[in-house]
Amino acid sequence: MKKLIMGVLLGAVVAGVVVFLANADGKEFGYGSGGEEEEGERTVEGDSEMMTEQEGINEVIQSSYSQGEYDLNEPLVIEDPYGAAPLTALAKFETEEAQEITVTVQGQNGGGNISHTFDGYETEHEVPILGLYPDHDNTVVLEAENEDGDTSETELTITTDPLPDNFLNTELIEADKERMENGLTFVVPSGEYAYGVDSNGDVRWYSSMPNSHVFQRLENNKLVFLTQKVEQSGQYNLILEMDMLGQVSFGSYIDVTNFENWGVVHHDVIELPNNNFLATDHDGSGYIEDDMVEIDRESGEMVDELNMKDIFPEEMYEDYDGPSSDEGDWFHQNAVWYDEHDEDILVSSRHQDAIVDMSYPDGEVEWILADHEGWPEEFQDHLLEPQGEDFKFPGGPHAVMTLPDQDENPDTTDVLLFDNNIAVVRGDENQSEEFSRAVQYRINTEDFTVEEVWSYGEERGEEFFSNIVGDADYLEATGNRLITSGHAFGEGDDLHSRIVETTDDEEAEVVYELKVSGFEEGESRQAYRAERMPLYPEEWEFNLQNE
């Protein structure tokens, strides 16, 4: 094996030398901090700076490769080629006849191998290596198979550095590997390192670029990733599309002149059916976290906007006196979800204790899932009527999503969300803060009724209560639920995040549980969400030309 050590974080290429740029140093970012009252100017523009820098990195790789002869037994190996994913590498080599390549990183301590076959028979090979352990001499096997079924292989050793000193701690509590959904569990922070752990709780991937809130796989099998335009600025304002090696293929930068705090893009970015992004942002007014912009995936510029102040009456935001009212944070939109069945969007409002279904881009409200207290007269007919004696409306909710059809009834829609159960401006104050939960509601859109059909969390009481942040995901292969109570206090004020995978049974069983710690209150480094997905996407045709 011949190695080319890149050691960059999207570094500048100067006279053929790749220069390392420092990572974020764990600077504290205040959760929910807002902007100034005076009007500011917002700009949304494409950003190709990282792609340009990566072109220089690719040129270094190609130049080094052209100066040698690299085959299966002696490949060129570039560790962390883009300085963005330290537990990855790239192997580049050629074979005399067309071969199909399988790469395997061998597991340790009973952990599973991470393996992937790149479909197709080629003679030139650029093979991403994912799933390395930190601080370890990793054994990596490259296997080549020709079209006659004959195989050959080589074994590599790739040595990795330890995790950063300020990395979060991940403790495995339980793992029933036979009943878990396949894939790594990716911990998505409010600020700092996004990372993935296997069923043993071992870190097998992380990004050295700071991340906040936004990390999910797209239809093209790449990631949407929210980071900082200028590292250590504290402002998360750069939306990237990139692969698991850190190769960037799209960037959009949002700047708001009167906003100096952390979350310019603050909670969510989703992919619309037209391929554009829809991002929660600030509009430059004296109110925050109540706006969304649609971003063109070609230009990176804003092509549409939807603002909650244009939907709800003035008194709702002018008279709001709940948490963060002095910062103009009357709505606090923390999630947006596109419902393919109804072709509309669902938004989650923490400070209105509500889930709102509306058309997009018009913003015509269809229904509101919230306690009926205090809503303006014009929205009374949109409020869902609860069914059942033990029904509870959500309080300070997060992470709403629609589920696949659950009852073969075209008039119903099932939604899953994380109910923090904190009554912000409305709701049941008698139960508030006693627990948090994942809950599935069934909504009949014909008669405007809603019932609870499943939940998990009440039985764990205050140990599962998260006053901020949280997530609940439906896992399609098993029907399991992945639940994140992101800001929970245990015994002795033990602040931590707890990630739990349960079955969908009426009395749900835990099949996987992680405890994430190592952060303090106010740092905003907790787990905001968790995602379960294979480390390698199903289809990935990597090439240095980024085509």
Residue 493, domain member (yes or no): no
Calpha distance 158→318 (Å, rounded): 58
**Tokens of residue 507, six digits:** 């009395």
Calpha distance 125→95 (Å, rounded): 8
Q: Name the residue type at position 488.
A: A
Spatial CB neighbours of 475, under 8 Å, sequence gap ≥ 6: 181, 481, 482, 501, 532
Which pLDDT score, from 0 to 100, does residue 382 have? 98
Residue 297, domain member (yes or no): no
The secondary structure element, H or E, covering residue 481 is strand 481-489
Of 314, 317, 279, 316, the C-alpha closest to 296 is 279
Residue 74, domain member (yes or no): yes
Burial of residue 123, with CB atoms counted within 10 A of its CB: 0-12 exposed, 13-18 middle, 19 or more buried: exposed
The secondary structure element, H or E, covering residue 64 is helix 49-66
Spatial CB neighbours of 318, under 8 Å, sequence gap ≥ 6: none
Of 103, 153, 95, the C-alpha closest to 132 is 103
- β-pairing, 449-456 with 385-387? parallel
Residue 459, domain member (yes or no): no
Residue 72 is part of a domain; what is its CATH number?
2.60.40.3100
Beta-bridge mates of residue 442? 414, 451
Calpha distance 313→310 (Å, rounded): 8
Residue 31, domain member (yes or no): yes
Calpha distance 382→448 (Å, rounded): 8
DSSP 60: H
Residue 438, domain member (yes or no): no
Which pLDDT score, from 0 to 100, does residue 230 have? 85
Which pLDDT score, from 0 to 100, does residue 13 have? 31
SS3 of the chain: helix, strand, coil, percent, to 5: 10, 45, 50
Q: Name the residue type at position 15.
A: A
- Total number of domains in the chain: 1
Residue-by-residue pLDDT tens, the chain, 547 positions:
777 655 433 333 322 223 222 233 333 333 344 444 568 899 999 999 999 999 999 999 999 999 999 999 999 999 999 999 999 999 999 999 999 999 999 999 888 999 999 999 999 999 999 999 999 999 999 999 999 999 999 999 999 999 999 999 999 999 999 999 999 999 999 999 999 999 999 999 999 999 999 999 999 999 999 999 987 678 999 999 999 999 999 999 999 998 888 899 999 999 999 999 999 999 999 999 999 999 999 999 999 999 999 999 999 999 999 999 999 999 999 999 999 988 999 999 999 999 999 999 999 999 999 999 999 999 999 999 999 999 999 999 999 999 999 999 999 999 999 999 999 999 889 999 999 999 999 999 999 999 999 999 999 999 999 999 999 999 999 999 999 999 999 877 799 999 999 999 999 999 999 999 999 999 999 999 999 999 999 999 999 988 8
Calpha distance 70→91 (Å, rounded): 10
Residue 114, domain member (yes or no): yes
State the CB neighbour count (10 A cutoff) for residue 323. Answer: 18
Give the structural domain span for 25.
2-159
Calpha distance 72→299 (Å, rounded): 40
Which pLDDT score, from 0 to 100, does residue 233 have? 76
Place of tokens 């059916």: 273
Respond yes or no on whether the N-terminal peptide bond of residue 361 is cis (omega within 30° of 0): yes
Residue 17, domain member (yes or no): yes
